[in-house]
Each structure stands twice: as structure tokens, then as C-alpha cells.
Amino acid sequence: MIEHPAFYQLIIYDNGSKLCIGDTDGIGLKNIAHRIDNLGGQFRIKTNKGYEIFITIPKVESR
């Protein structure tokens, strides 16, 4: 995880087998994407040799 001035960033790499994005049996990644969206963040999956998951979540100032 990397902390930037305005957001947090998490990148997950796996150079193994490709992630089966079309698989609808589970709700894990959909649940993560929904939660990140609720926080105003971004969730992106890139497949090439294996897969990469990119997550950014904006920082919220404390009151």
C-alpha cells in the first residue's frame, strides 16, 4: 500500500494463471468493488500474464 497526499493506493500483482473475471459464482471481487465505490475510490482489474488489481481510495480529513 502506498500513501499519496490525497489518496491511498493498493496494487496486487499475480503473474500466475489469469483471473477468471467472467466467473459469476462468487461475490468477493464484486463486494470489494462495491465497497470501494461507496468510499469514492476506484477498482480496476487488468489481465495480461496473470492479473493486476488496482485500488485507490481518497483520503478523508478528520473533523
Percent with pLDDT over 70 in the chain: 81
Model confidence, pTM: 0.76
Residue 59: predicted pLDDT: 95
Q: Which domains does the chain have, with CATH numbers?
A: 7-58 (3.30.565.10)
The total of other beta-carbon atoms located within 10 Å of residue 56's CB is 19
Contact 54, 7 (CB under 8 A): no
| pLDDT tens readout for residues 19-44 | 565 655 667 888 999 999 999 999 99
Residue 38 to residue 55: CA distance in whole angstroms: 13
